[in-house]
A and B are shown apart, each in its own frame.
Chain A
Amino acid sequence: MDTTRTSEAIDQDRRRLLGTAAAGIAAAGAASLLPSQLAAASTSDAIRPFSVSFPQEEINELRRRIAATRWPERELVSDEASRRIWSTPATVGPTQGVQLATMQKLMQYWRTEYDWSKCEAQLKALPNFVTEIDGLDIHFIHVKSKHQGALPVIITHGWPGSVIELLKIIDPFTNPTAHGGTEAEAFDVVIPSMPGYGFSGKPTETGWDPGRIARAWIVLMKRLGYDRYVAQGGDWGALITEQMALIAPPELVAIHTNMPGTIPPEIVKALASGGPPPADLGPDEKRAYEQVAFFYQNGLGYANEMALRPQTLYGIVDSPAGLAAWILDHDADSYALIARSFDGEPEGLTRDDILDNITFYWLTNTAISSARLYWEHTQTAKAGFFDAKGITIPVGATANPSEIYTAPKSWTERAFPKLLHYGRTDKGCHFAAWEQPKSFTDEVRATFKTLQT
């Protein structure tokens, strides 16, 4: 009965939009203001179509700022090792952060050749919606498969990602027969923007931690009329997906994560002590231990800053170069991957992929509102990002070789008693769906195939 009511609401909103072209034009004015403006005109749980559009002046202003960049001098280390991908942490030499040469190539391309309108058109072509949940407007892309009985999946992006990192998998998921799959492997896809990200509203109060986002996603799926669905995520999306699994609403039958939290309690303790890997670890466990230790020791600067002082980062809201560098420096392997694409050796991500995402952050002015998720997590987190969290519903997990850590099978089996699937890919960093959509799709299909009959 929920289904009927919601479908009607969607239809009403669709008709309203078709009837008033003006709404689309209003949306163009200020994308991030739009949801609250429209909220007054609709009932609070209505699902409203959302039209993507950015004024040309904002694009021009961005170009002007890029051209006016005031550069720092070059870093003092050669940093060559940081260009290697698929490497072990031990080979990553001293770094001072994003290299000037990479940044200058990026900014040059951004200012001269890069064309945001292509990405905008791509977003615009998708069915975008907004609905208010728990007092906040949530934007989402909702693409239904043409195939009957498609399994609904809610897929959550992370930081410094956005819905843009998930666009490449929409067609393989919803239209599997065009991508080497069968009808039975079809998904209805729901891709929300997290609160403070993209076109979703920016919380003006505290409390939007991963648990609250997970609860909002459960409401969203219910509102869309889905009474049997799965969830997927990487980065923050993985944490939110895990939170959904911990809440375990009856409609959620399984999850897949490409950044599974599997670290057992005794390893968490060993890592906190800063000591060497315990002697009894197997090779995969030892490598995972070293990856996490490396990240905690060398790679947490940005996460720390956002977890503790997100508001102090005024510079990344005011400076395109500042924002781009901040977004590039997520983890050593992803940075290496991105840097290479600006050196003419793209692997997984193109220059446009990278700049689509950065431009999206810039135009929606969400650099700081998105960072607050780290702060929120710090207020309430009971476990670290990569720790096992006691999930009991069925789980599929993919361990990518160049993820921040490659979850070993042994830990994954322990963390998830109902493990549907454990997969290891040949290549792939942190942004699996964005970099390696093919293997990502295979992994998700392998996880959920038993549920898609």
Chain B
Amino acid sequence: MRLDQLAAVLAFGLCILSAPASANPVEDRSIRPFKVYVPQAPLDDLRSRIAQTRWPDRETVDDQSQGIQLAKIRPLVEYWGTAYDWRTAEAKLNSLPQFMTTIDGVDIHFIHVRSKHPNALPLIMTHGWPGSVLELLKTVGPLTDPTAHGGSPEDAFDLVLPSLPGFGFSGKPTDTGWGTDRIARAWAELMKRLGYTDYVAQGGDWGSPVSNAMGRLAPAGLLGIHVNLPAVVPPEIAAVLAAGGPAPAGLMDKERAAFDALSMAAKMGNRSYATMMGTRPQTIGYAINDSPAGLAAWMLGHPGFSGWTYDKSDPEKSPDEVLDDITLYWLTDTATSSGRIYWEYGGGRSPVFAGPEKTSEVSLPVAITVFPGEGYQAPETWARRAYPNLIYFHEVDKGGHFAAWERPELFSAELRAAFRPLRQTK
């Protein structure tokens, strides 16, 4: 036990330091078991910093239009600094098999849960920002153990949940170039290293462009992808949105609704965080790496969180749910490194545009689920235009940007349905 713990401490230290393994001429391809153990000192330091938070004056409006409201964040941060317990999240992570392997010079942390059912379909699922593997944990049961969650053995998946480079327990790239294409290549290598010859990929938020990139790359073994933030906005609509013009004539109802949602989001400034990290991730990094309140507000500023209450009335969106995620960013010192994925993508652009995402090059089967609380609801007409091989398109009635986190059962049911045809081709 003591030795285990020591190893875990070392592993933690190692991943924080992220020694560049690329220094070795031959990359170590081993897959090392990993456990999370955060020493007490950083936890104490976090509490002490929270207790000393220096607050600004209150916003001058009665809504969210100037950003995260003081009366909303202050109690959350105060709870964070007192009653909140990181060890629960740590135990949750450590209840799952975690590993580390070095790919393309960066240590990649991942959770790997094999189903007990034979012929389970391997699935690599990618989180986004300001998320982490934590946003995906509730799907582990339904996806790997479907019979305990209203499914049949034929619905089973072997699940691989990597932490993006610069996120969570993965290493931090020390060179540029870790955009979605390079991540996609790393994920293909990861699945190969795990011995999977037939698998599927899924993602929301940054996980979506990573999955699109895997679809374009079409590595051996990849059967298809599912995305819940699809890149379906056609070029002519993107041009109108960029110019801030009115909706073009002749749009169908759902197209018009999607246009309006994207246009409104731009006007309301919902993507200002992305512009900042897309152009100056380092500049904002100093504040959010040094101030817990600053980090919490910055992460909660993502529109995916805007409808959340954090008041325990909704157990799916309780303070602990989000604080686990925020604490993970804090403890792994990844506020700055995670923001760089926006910089790599360029200038804070949104990954919902079919043109830059080159969706026409995704020849593999693509499945899409549209969640009603997502930033925009992809219309089927656009989806069919964008993805030449769309095998599944479904609109559901619940769930938002963090679909797997908010509606794990529904989300899992969607993945089962979406990937069912691909199992038959195995």
Contact = CB atoms under 8 A, between A and B. Distances in A.
Interface in B201-244: 242-244
Contact of A312 (B49, B273, B275, B340): B273
Interface stretch (A41-49, A93-101, A344-352): A93-101
A439 to B, nearest CB: 29
Contacts of B285: 72, 97, 325
A264 interface: no
B290 A69 contact: yes
B257 interface: no
Nearest to A367: B56
B249 interface: no
Interface in B254-281: 268-269, 272-273, 275-276, 278-281
Nearest to A71: B289
A322 interface: yes
Interface string B87-102: 0000000000000000
Nearest to A311: B67
B290 A300 contact: no
A314 B279 contact: no
B111 interface: no
A316 interface: yes
A423 interface: no
Interface string A225-239: 000000000000000
A4 interface: no
A202 interface: yes
B283 A325 contact: yes
B276 A315 contact: no
B60 A204 contact: yes
B291 A311 contact: no
Nearest to A203: B60
A367 B297 CA distance: 15
Contacts of A328: 283
A379 to B, nearest CB: 9
Nearest to A362: B54
B66 interface: yes
Contacts of A314: 55-56, 68, 73, 291, 293-294, 296-298
A70 B288 contact: no
Contacts of A310: 59, 66-67
Contacts of B336: 72-73
Contact of B59 (A98, A297, A311): A311
Interface string A351-369: 0000000000000010111
A313 B53 CA distance: 13
Contacts of A298: 279, 347
Contacts of A71: 286, 289-290
Interface stretch (A17-25, A249-257, A301-309, A388-396): A301-309
Nearest to B295: A315
B286 A319 contact: yes
B175 interface: yes
Contact of A315 (B57, B173, B288, B347): B288
Contacts of A75: 282
Highest count of chain B CB atoms <10 Å: which of A69, A75, A312, A326: A312
A367 to B, nearest CB: 7
Interface string A60-80: 000000001111110111000
Contacts of B337: 72-73
Given A314-B68, A322-B290, A304 B343 contact: no
B282 A100 contact: yes
A324 interface: yes
B348 interface: yes
B269 A368 contact: no
B269 A315 contact: no
A431 interface: no
A77 B69 CA distance: 35
B284 A97 contact: yes
Interface in A190-213: 202-206
A272 B275 contact: no
B38 to A, nearest CB: 15
B309 interface: no
B291 A318 contact: yes
B35 to A, nearest CB: 24
B21 interface: no
Contacts of A95: 280
Contacts of A302: 276, 280, 283
Contact of B286 (A202, A204, A272, A322): A322
Highest count of chain B CB atoms <10 Å: which of A69, A72, A367: A72
Contacts of B69: 311
B333 interface: yes
Interface of A: 68-73, 75-77, 94-100, 103, 202-206, 272-274, 297-302, 304-305, 307-319, 321-326, 328-329, 365, 367-369, 372, 375
17 contacts: A72-B282, A72-B336, A75-B282, A273-B243, A304-B276, A307-B269, A311-B66, A313-B294, A313-B297, A315-B298, A316-B287, A316-B294, A318-B287, A325-B283, A328-B283, A368-B56, A372-B60
Given A71-B286, A322-B286, 4 more contacts: A272-B243, A304-B276, A308-B67, A309-B269
What 4 pairs between A and B have smallest CB-CB spacing?
A315-B294, A322-B287, A308-B269, A315-B287
